[in-house]
Amino acid sequence: MAGRRGALIVLEGADRAGKSTQAKRLVESLKERGYQAEGMRFPERTTEIGRLVGSYLEKKSNLEDHTVHLLFSANRWEQVPLMKEKLRSGVTLVVDRYAFSGVAFTSSKKVIAEAAAKRGDFGNERYETSAFQKMVQKRYAELMEDRSLNWQVIDAAQSMEEVHSAIRQLSEDIIQEAKDQPLGKLWVESDT
């Protein structure tokens, strides 16, 4: 049956940009406006794979870099059947981080390992150092050069309300646009 699928809306950005706050508000306001919408996050720490990732992020365990990259990836793939089912049934998914975090964070590791180790932390989890976050931001900027990905950039330095209304407007537009598009092009075999 053609049409009426939900949109896949992914929020990406450096730590503390406001992604989790905005994802929650977006789901609430879309629902108030009569859309079917649900939130998701990655890593999804409640699955078996997610618990391994969570423990790594909390520095309770150490994992080899390729291994943890693939666990982040597996943690997304294990949700794909559910995501497709929801999108097909008309639910718009608001996702707090996705594969772009996978690329931006893993590819920052090689470059930054030494510099980051010398600097003070600004959070408790792995990757929460200013040097690392700076590198991640640079990687996001490089990823956004690929125009086919349909990125929309929102200035996260604005007030919560301003950011929210910008995201909501863009989301309503994309929900209309996505409605009649096939799901096929959202996932390809080469996705990380």
Q: Give me the residues that bind ligand FDM (CB under 6 A), please.
A: 42-43, 57, 72, 97, 101-102, 105, 127
Out of 124, 148, 159, 190, name the contact with ligand ADP by CB under 6 A: 159
Which residue lies nearer to ligand ADP by CB, 59 or 88? 59
Q: How far is the CB of 13 from ligand ADP (least distance, A)?
A: 6
Instruction: Return d(Cα 146, Cα 103) in angstroms, integer.
Output: 13
Please give the residue whose beta carbon sits closest to ligand ADP in the complex. Answer: 18
Cβ pair 177, 38 in contact under 8 A: no
19 binds ligand ADP (CB under 6 A): yes
What would the DSSP string read from start to end of 27-58? HHHHHHTT--EEEEESS-TTSHHHHHHHHHHT
Tokens of residue 92, six digits: 């718009």
20 binds Mg ion (CB under 5 A): yes
Question: Where are the strands (E) in the chain, listed by range?
Answer: 8-11, 37-41, 92-96
Out of 7, 8, 10, 17, name the contact with ligand ADP by CB under 6 A: 17
Out of 82, 115, 149, 160, name the contact with ligand ADP by CB under 6 A: 160
Q: Which residue stretch of 19-27, 69-77, 104-112, 114-122 sits at the interface with Mg ion (rule: CB under 5 A)?
A: 19-27
Q: How far is the CB of 2 from ligand ADP (least distance, A)?
A: 36
Out of 21, 79, 137, 165, name the contact with ligand ADP by CB under 6 A: 21
- Write 124-128 long-range contacts (CB < 8 A, 24+): 124/58, 124/59, 125/57, 125/58, 125/59, 126/56, 126/57, 126/58, 126/59, 127/15, 127/57, 128/15
* Interacting residues toward Mg ion by CB under 5 A: 20
